[in-house]
Amino acid sequence: MSAPLTRAEAEELLYREALLIDSRRWDEWLAMFCDDIEFHMPAWRDETTLTQDPDRELSLIYYRGRRNLEDRVMRATSGLSTASTPLPRAVHAVTNVLVLAADRKEAHVSACFTCHRFDVRFGRAEVFFGRYDYRLRHEGGAWKIARKTIILLNDTIPTVADIFSV
Amino acid sequence: MRISDFIDDRPAEGIFRVHRKVFTDPAIFEMEMRHLFQGGWIFLGLAAQAPEPHDYFTTYAGRVPILVQCDGEGVRRAFVNSCPHKGARLAQSRCGNARMHVCPYHSWSFDSSGRNRAIKWKAAGAYAPAFDSDSHDLAPIARFDEYRGFLFGSLAADVPDLADYLGEARKLLDLVADQSEEGLELVPGQVTFTFRANWKLQLENCSDAYHFTSAHPSYIRILERRQQEACDDVVASVFENSDYWKEETKGIGGGSFSFANGHVLNWGVFGVTPALPLYERAQDLADRHGEGKRDWMFAMRNLTIFPNLQVAENASSQLRILRPLAPDLTEMQTWCIAPKGESAAARRQRIRQYEDFFNPTGMATPDDTVSYENCQIGFAGLVEPWLQGYGRGIAASVAGGNRFGDKIALEPARSVLAESQLCDETLYHSYYRAWASRLAPEFPA
């Protein structure tokens, strides 16, 4: 039986996720998610309110099931997507990691992020920033991501924002 | 300079060419602002964005901030969203409910019918009598009208009536509006994105059947994978349930209609399929409107109401407002548009299909917008300045309509019936003929 998740463990997990995605280690990144991952980036209803219910309101990204993330990775690496070829260079800086609740089975973690993206084709750099809300689950001897909510604060999207730049 | 230096339109010779500078020249862009976006009918929004007394929303006509405001009796008006005192933008929010707007700069206030209600410290202000001879109300825009919940405005007074401007394209807005007896709504959640390219690339891409298999193979590959490895986690796409767009498909699968004033439609046959959220209403819609019109509601349809409204009903249903910011910068405001009252399951399906395809965070739109940016870079090359993207379908374009359009009594200016590989480009001619006629005052005859 595991112990409740500590902040050090939460930081380790989030920093590792950032490293894997920034270094394009897709299979290792996908392995961090539970099969039934809920991956959600809500849209904004208006200037101050996020959409809440993904079945009745629009999200920027909403997937239930890791299979959908595998599709996104397949698209991004297929060489068949103009928008993804070559992939932009990106680095995620994850900060303000807090364990809001944790027991031996589950944990609720909050964090902030910035993602700097450099589009090598057009020679331009952009930044996305916001907050993460994670639900982690202890599964098969390791903490995995059961739900990831991305609150994108600067939501006027310059051309494209893929799963690896938020 | 003459207009023919930009649009080379010689129908008798089978020639239609567009000059690259149309997309890059700052002087051309200023003409477009004057004559298209600030000089004629443009789409402002849906009535559903300000449905109740005192509701309002804000938008732009070109560079001009606009306030669409519903008064206490439910009458909607459109004003320049600018205080007459010092010019400050008055309403600050995208939408809201306000009996009064109080200017945050010097507290001049206006009711929801646009009337000035108070000028702070007026009596002590030592104004000359002449001040009282000026109206201090909000400036209404010259023309404001509605068709089936679609709100349009014009900063210029000298324009045809809206019904005449829309013409036959009204029947295509009917296909959107009639999907529910209760009308249309925008699914909560607005998505805004920009691209560093000219707005007319978006205008064209919506009508472009030619790019689908070239620009979106990664999306098509995922559809194939989802078909082969079906599971409950993935949303079904209408494209995987349809063949009209595939290169091996034979027979008439779609085509295009061109209308006066620059409105166009390209379309394809999806059929009445459960892959469309409208499927639950298929029988009801046939009973209400007849099978011919019902089948049109189930067809793939990309509609442009020139110059700034597009309603795309293909992978899902999207309403887009194009807003040019510079010759090489465009802002897109986008929503999922839906018939009111559909079931929770249909709405969920519509939203999932939408996010997958239409979002700038999805799997199709970015491959379009990045291609626009590649075009914008390429437009700098003026060694051969005339673009060759307007020739497909010239030999197939006929005056008037066809047997498909006849089902909704559609009388377009021109039409093309197409097999999957024809991919008509003559519908862009309609854009540029309207464009040329509106910009003509800038050029000697």
pTM above 0.90? Answer: yes
Token code pair at residue B292: 């011919």
Q: DSSP secondary structure string, A63-132? A: EESHHHHHHHHHHHHSS--GGGSSPPEEEEEEEEEEEEEE-SSEEEEEEEEEEEEEETTTTEEEEEEEEE
Does position B236 have pLDDT exceeding 80, yes or no? no
Q: Evaluate whether B256 touches B426 at the Cβ level (below 8 Å).
A: yes
Instruction: Tell me the pLDDT of chain B averaged across its residues.
Output: 95
Backbone torsions φ then ψ of B76, nearest 5 degrees? -95, 140
Q: Which chain A residues are closer than 8 Å to B190 by Cβ?
A: 43-46, 58
Supply φ then ψ for residue A50, to 5 degrees. Answer: -85, 155
Question: Between chains, do A43 and B217 touch, taking CB under 8 Å as contact?
Answer: no
Task: Tell me the C-alpha to C-alpha distance, in Å, between residue B369 and each of A62, A128, A165.
Answer: 21, 19, 17
| Most A CBs within 10 Å, among B361, B365, B373, to test the A interface | B361
Each residue of B47-92: pLDDT tens digit? 999 999 999 999 999 999 999 999 999 999 999 999 999 999 999 9
Distance from chain centroid for Cα A80: 23
Contact check, Cβ <8 Å, A62/B355: yes
If we measure between CA atoms, which residue out of B391, B11, B441, B435 comes closest to residue B203? B435
Q: Are A83 and A54 in contact (CB under 8 A)?
A: no
Beta pairing partners, B434: none
Nearest to B217 among A47, A71, A80 (CB): A80
| Interface with chain B: mutation pick from A30, A38, A82, highest number of B CBs within 10 Å | A82
CB atoms within 10 A of CB B351: 26
The amino acid at A59: S
Tell whether the model's pLDDT for residue B332 goes beyond 70.
yes
Chain B positions in Cβ-Cβ contact with residue A42 (cut-off 8 Å) = 189
Between CA B278 and CA B282 the distance in angstroms is 7
What pLDDT is recorded for position B445? 75
What distance in Å separates the CA atoms of residue A113 and residue A95, rounded to the nearest whole number? Answer: 6
Q: What pLDDT was estimated at residue A1?
A: 53
- C-alpha B136/C-alpha B114 separation (Å) is 10
Taking every pair of Cα atoms in chain B, the longest distance, rounded to a whole number of angstroms, is 80
How many contacts does A have with B, using Cβ atoms within 8 A?
Answer: 145
> What pLDDT score does B244 carry?
67
Mean pLDDT, residues A92-121 taken together:
97
Is residue B205 predicted with pLDDT exceeding 60? yes
pLDDT tens for residues B407-431? 999 999 999 998 889 999 999 999 9
Assess whether pLDDT exceeds 80 at residue B230. no
Mutate to test the interface with B, among A159, A162, A165 (most CBs of B within 10 A): A159
Q: Count how many residues are written for chain B.
A: 445
Say whether A65 and B94 touch across the interface (CB within 8 A). Answer: no
Strand locations in B76-155 (E) = 76-80, 95-97, 100-102, 109-111, 116-118, 143-147, 150-154
Q: Quick count: other Cβ atoms within 10 Å of Cβ A38?
A: 17
Residues 6+ apart with CB under 8 A from B211: B205, B368, B371
pLDDT, tens only, B86-122: 999 999 999 999 999 999 999 999 999 999 999 999 9
d(CA B238, CA A56): 20
Q: Is the pLDDT reported for residue A39 higher than 90?
A: yes
Compute the nearest-CA separation of A55 from chain B (Å). 5
Nearest residue on chain B to A81, judged by CA atoms? B218
Residue with tokens 């109740």: B52
For residue B370, the distance in angstroms to the closest alpha carbon of chain A comes to: 6
Cα distance between residue B227 and residue B77, in whole Å: 49
pLDDT at residue B2 in the model: 94
- B235 DSSP β-pair partners: none
Confidence category of residue B168, pLDDT binned at 50, 70, 90: very high
Percent of chain B exceeding pLDDT 70 equals: 99
Assigned token pair, B176: 């959107």
DSSP state of B179: T
Out of B232, B336, B369, name the one closest to residue A58 (CB): B336
Chain B, 174 to 213: residues with Cβ < 8 Å from chain A are 187-196
- Give the separation between CA B57 and CA B47, rounded to whole angstroms: 10
- Strands A33-42, A142-152: pairing is parallel
Q: What is the pLDDT of residue B291?
A: 95
B359 at the A interface (CB within 8 A)?
yes
Q: Which residue has the tokens 């006629």?
A: B437
Which whole number is the average pLDDT over B222-249?
Answer: 78
Q: With 80 as the cut, is the pLDDT of residue B240 above it?
A: no
Residues of B in contact with A158 (CB under 8 A): 193-194
* A160:B370 CB<8 A: yes
Residues 292-351 of B with CB under 8 A from A: 331, 335-336, 344, 347-348, 351
Q: Find, among B370, B367, B390, B412, the residue nearest to B170 by Cα.
A: B412
**Least confidently predicted of A87-101, B222-236, B298-312:** B222-236
| Neighbouring residues of A12: CB distance < 8 A, sequence distance ≥ 6 | none
Taking only the tens place, the pLDDT of each residue in B313-326 is 999 999 999 999 99
Strands (E), B283-397: 300-305, 309-313, 317-326, 329-339, 386-387
CA distance A34 to chain B (A): 13
Tens digit of pLDDT for each residue in A143-163? 999 999 999 999 999 999 999
Q: B427: closest CA among B389, B371, B380?
A: B389
Confidence of residue B235 (pLDDT cuts 50, 70, 90): confident
